[in-house]
Amino acid sequence: MPSRPTLFSADPVDEVPLLRAPLVRVIAQVRFPEQLEVDRREVIEPIQGAIRERYPVLRQESIHVARGEGPQSVHSSTAWRFFDRTNTWRATLTTGFLALETWRYTSRADLVQRLVELSEAVATHIGPSRVDRLGVRYIDRIVNPELANVGRLLHSDVLGVAANIPTPTLVHTMNEALLQDLPALLLARWGYLPPNATYDPAALESIESSSWVLDIDVHRTNGPAFSPDWIRDEASALAARAYRFFRWAVTDEFLECYGGDV
């Protein structure tokens, strides 16, 4: 049986693939200095051509971004959304970041490879000078019938007060921890959400039933020159840090419950 890893260690944690993983969203994002030309269609056309095989559907959206402080610093900008044929992967390019999101995660290698392909297109056709921030975020959500057994799926020190207060007495609890794991920071949020509740509408939709959420966001800032090779290596390392926290939080019974071979 897998052993519970320590939070901070150089030893790798072997991945246990889950056939029915409760991942509801995975997000990878690369932030860079403002590239104002991204708002123009003629700049996006060669990028669209480079990634069309994976992401054939393009949508243009208007968003509001802050450049400076105060209400006068908010400007309208363009977000270019690229979707795959199944509508389960979405890439977003704006003047300040590249993001990749999925609702059907399969593996760390697949996520990183897709991020590298997008980064190569951005490097070739836009050429940002550097990476300001690179982050990887995993959001798991436990719902019924598994929610009824959450006390056996998560370690007691993760459950906290929820280990001793049963539902429906427990209406809501949310824990947050910011951990420094140089050169990265890990922000973890976990807890019990009542129906129709969310703490981050942009990343986690509210649902009509109660749920338990485990949200792990690992990032680092002040990266080097914009390089797809660096993004590949660092995104893999950040994802490995996120997975270590995940395995620290969940029990072997969790892995078995969601189809892991343990």
Average pLDDT rounded to a whole number, residues 32-51: 96
What pLDDT, on the 0 to 100 scale, is given for residue 164?
63
pLDDT digits (tens, 9 = 90+) for 62-105: 887 666 565 556 667 899 999 999 999 999 999 999 999 999 99
Poorest-pLDDT segment among 164-168, 185-189, 201-205:
164-168
Report the pLDDT value the prediction gives residue 1, as an integer from 0 to 100. Answer: 59
For 192-243, write each residue's pLDDT tens digit.
Answer: 999 999 999 999 999 999 999 999 999 999 999 999 999 999 999 999 999 9
The full 3-state SS of 176-191, as one line of letters, equals EEEEEECCEEEEEEEE
pTM over 0.95: no
Residue 196: left (phi > 0), alpha (psi -120 to 50), or beta? left
Q: Which tens digit of pLDDT belongs to each residue from 98-150? A: 999 999 999 999 999 999 999 999 999 999 999 999 999 999 999 999 998 89
* pLDDT per position as a tens digit, 9-35: 778 899 999 999 999 999 999 999 999
Q: To the nearest whole number, what is the mean pLDDT of the chain?
A: 92
Q: Which residues in 18-96 belong to E strands, given as ranges?
A: 23-31, 57-66, 74-83, 89-93
Which one-letter amino acid corresponds to residue 50? Answer: A
So what's the pLDDT on residue 3? 76
Q: Which of 192, 177, 193 is nearest to 245 (CA)?
A: 177
Name the nearest CA neighbour of 229 among 82, 117, 129.
Answer: 117
Nearest of 174, 175, 215 to residue 197 by alpha carbon: 174
What is the C-alpha to C-alpha distance for residues 139 and 79, in angstroms, rounded to an integer? 23
The predicted pLDDT at position 7 comes to 85
* pLDDT confidence of residue 73: 60
Q: What is the pLDDT of residue 65?
A: 65
Percent of the chain with pLDDT strictly greater than 90: 78
Euclidean distance between CA atoms 17 and 127, whole angstroms: 36
- Sequence-ordered alpha helix ranges (H) in the chain: 41-51, 108-125, 150-153, 156-159, 228-249, 252-257
Q: List the domain boundaries for the chain.
A: 23-257
**Which whole number is the average pLDDT over 170-184?**
89
Per-residue pLDDT band for 161 (boundaries 50, 70, 90) equals confident
For 223, the token pair is: 């990266």
Return the SS3 of 57.
strand
| Cβ 240 vs Cβ 15: under 8 Å | no
Residue range 246-260: mean pLDDT, rounded: 96
